[in-house]
Chains A and B, each alone.
Chain A
Amino acid sequence: MELLGNLGLGLGVALSLTNLLYCFLGALLGTLVGVIPGVGVLAAISMLFPLTYHLDPTTALIMLAGIWYGTTYGGSTASILLNIPGTPANAVTCLDGYPMARSGRGGVALFMTTVASFFGATFGIALLTLFTPIIAEYALRFGSAEYFALMLMGLVAASTISEGSAIKGLSMMTLGVILGLVGMDTQTSTVRYTFGVLGMLEGISLIALAMGVFGVAEIIMSVRRVKSTDIDPESVKLKAIKPTRDDVRRSWFPMLRGSSLGSFFGTLPGTGPSIAAFLSYAIEKRLSKTPERFGKGAIEGIMAPEAANNAADQTAFIPTLSLGVPGSATMALMLGALMIHGIAPGPTLISDEPELFWGLIMSFWVGNIILLVLNIPLIGVWVRMLTIPYHLLYPSVLLFICIGAYSASFSPLNVWMVFAFGALGYAMRIFRFPGAPLLLGFVLGPLMEEHFRRAMLLGRGDFMTFFDRPISATIMAITGLILLWSILSAESVKKRRQERARSA
């Protein structure tokens, strides 16, 4: 009964006129960004991030979240109609979605993936509603040692599991934590690493860092490389969107399996929607009695991954909202939006800010319904967005980034930080260093230091305090296993590469 009351409270918040408006705005922008290749989710969220200063925190989070799950919807449209994945999470949808569009079944594919997305999201939201309060209540017993261990595990997992070299991920995470310490130390008021710049007392701006490393660096990489697309009018023409009875029959189980798999991977740090989508495609292909149909327009091949990535989008909020430990760079930005408003993320969030928590969750549902309505009738509009030439798009994006950074504190210092982090971000692309661990480390850095210092104080200066307490010790052991696994898998990759070089 308590749950129903909470859901009612949340629905009331989510359906207020302002929140509805910003939910719509977020979903719309998310779809747009998802459709247009060359503008990523992180760039979009950080572009709109400055707005959150002027909004109520609940409204701000509703809008940012709308962008996040909206891109996954929009991305599938580009995948199916043009064979271009709008976001990495939709890449696998191209495999069977585009052949469907080529054979005149594009309308069916779009309709069915929208249904799958909605199904997956609903599945994820249900788990989110049920499990977040339980985990949060359990986590209330955690002390500083447990928190430090949890954050360390989140960072290590996110740095080593994602693409590329584990060492590079770990080093970016460390650099991120150091950058997070810039400014005034909360415990002793010592000013650290500001190099005498007065405006840096409050620390490095999260927005400037995100917009520089993800927005500006992305633009530098894409200029003169992204070609605006010519659209084959045949593939866009939607002859019929009504699926056959066979389509519906084949879709049920892939959708269910995709949702479960996606929900699981969404909660883990470092995995998220892309990996969930790829794995669920692979599983469908293996389970299928007719695997030869895959790659030629099998409906299972679009339903499972689209259900999986949307479910993962939603369950990614479970660790973020229940523990205050984000598993991806996007979730770190969500936490950043909370922290800017002075709301401490963690297990007390649900009891301290019930309107924010339940309102946000119910807004996911509202947002997904908005997306359902937006996507089907407006397909033609989205597709036309793809024809906007990049040489008009990127100066506009840059301008919005700069105005956003400037308006955050009305000082050009933030714009200079965008400049510096844009340069750093471009260097990171050249040297193939991942950006997500940097941002995660940056957001978690000050919290980690606080918990580390407190845990050491309570543990009388003995590092064993992290290994004496059972929960903390378990988490540390898992972290150790992740590190070990990443070293071993790097070795096996190297060995395979050498063997291939020898046989060639």
Chain B
Amino acid sequence: MYKFDYTDMAAGAFLIVVGLTATGIAVSQYPLGTFQRMGPGMFPAGLGVLLSFFGVILIIQGFTRQGMRPDIRIWSPLFVLGSVAAFALIVVPFGLIPAIIAIVVLSSLAELKIKVTSVAWLCVALCILAPGVFKFGLGLQLPLFRWPF
């Protein structure tokens, strides 16, 4: 238990930063126009201010109550998001099959115990199923293998 709700305060600070950035960009780069003839900057500038206002309220509320320690996990987001990033990096230069293997192996590591045979079987099954559905079933243009060099 914390004396104040620090998680909400941190979130409030984040909202203020995002809101002010949005307003700053809108005011400095997009024409604001008048209330009657609004330019592309007016609406987002207002929204940014609104978002920062909510951030301020959240911080004030955080001072009025106690907070819980947030339950943050490190490995699950790292491996799951990492596997998505790997897919994004691999699918164009190397093709679908290497991307499938990368995403399955990397995301399976999030379990923190590696069962080699079950991961291998899953790879094989998905390498047959996914191209079957998307490439041959739906006729999408997805090269299975590629070599960029």
Contacts and interface: CB of A to CB of B under 8 A. Distances in A.
B27 interface: no
Contacts of B138: 51, 54
B11 A399 contact: no
A412 B92 contact: yes
A177 B48 CA distance: 10
Contact of B83 (A165, A185, A398, A406): A398
B41 to A, nearest CB: 8
Contact of B57 (A167, A406, A422, A460): A167
A51 B138 CA distance: 8
B81 A419 contact: yes
Contact of A188 (B39, B58, B80): B39
Given A412-B91, A431-B7, A192 B36 contact: no
B44 A418 contact: no
Interface in B87-134: 87-89, 91-92, 96, 99-100, 103-104, 107-108, 110-112, 115, 118, 122, 126, 130, 134
Contacts of A175: 15, 18, 51
A187 B103 contact: no
Interface string A162-174: 0001011011001
A480 interface: no
Interface centre among A178, A190, A423 (most CB of B within 10 A): A178
B101 to A, nearest CB: 10
A333 interface: no
A264 interface: no
Contacts of A402: 84, 87-88, 91, 99, 103
A10 B61 CA distance: 52
Contacts of B61: 165, 167
A17 B45 CA distance: 50
B76 A220 contact: yes
A168 B47 CA distance: 15
A398 B51 contact: no
Contacts of A460: 36
A462 B35 CA distance: 7
Interface in A341-383: none
Interface residues of B, number: 68
Interface string A467-502: 000000000000000000000000000100000000
Contacts of B22: 178, 193
B58 A168 contact: yes
Nearest to B34: A461
B108 A391 contact: yes
A146 to B, nearest CB: 18
A243 interface: no
Contact of A224 (B7, B35, B76): B76
Interface string B19-46: 1001001100011001111111011100
B30 A216 contact: no
Contact of A391 (B18, B55, B83, B118): B118
Contacts of B38: 452-453, 456-457
A178 B8 CA distance: 21
Dominant secondary structure at the B interface = helix
Nearest to A392: B122
Nearest to B88: A415
Interface in A408-437: 410, 412, 415-416, 418-419, 422-423, 426, 430-433
Interface in A220-248: 220-221, 223-224
B148 interface: no
Nearest to B115: A391
A268 B126 CA distance: 41
Contacts of B99: 402
Nearest to B46: A452
A456 B37 CA distance: 8
A400 interface: yes
A426 B81 CA distance: 10
A395 B126 CA distance: 10
Nearest to B72: A430
Given A220-B76, A394-B107, 20 more contacts: A168-B11, A168-B58, A171-B15, A171-B54, A174-B47, A181-B47, A193-B44, A216-B81, A219-B80, A220-B80, A223-B110, A223-B111, A394-B110, A402-B88, A406-B87, A412-B91, A422-B81, A431-B7, A453-B43, A457-B37
The 7 A-B pairs of least Cβ separation, nearest first, read A461-B36, A461-B35, A415-B88, A171-B54, A190-B40, A185-B40, A431-B11
Interface of B: 7-8, 10-11, 15, 18-19, 22, 25-26, 30-31, 34-40, 42-44, 47-48, 50-51, 54-55, 57-58, 61, 65, 70-73, 76-77, 80-81, 83-85, 87-89, 91-92, 96, 99-100, 103-104, 107-108, 110-112, 115, 118, 122, 126, 130, 134, 138, 140-142
Interface of A: 51, 54, 165, 167-168, 170-171, 174-175, 177-178, 181, 185, 187-188, 190, 192-193, 216, 219-221, 223-224, 391-392, 394-396, 398-403, 406-407, 410, 412, 415-416, 418-419, 422-423, 426, 430-433, 449, 452-453, 456-457, 460-463, 494
22 contacts: A170-B54, A190-B39, A192-B30, A216-B80, A216-B81, A216-B84, A220-B77, A220-B81, A223-B111, A394-B107, A395-B103, A402-B87, A402-B88, A403-B130, A412-B91, A418-B84, A426-B81, A431-B11, A449-B43, A452-B38, A452-B43, A453-B42
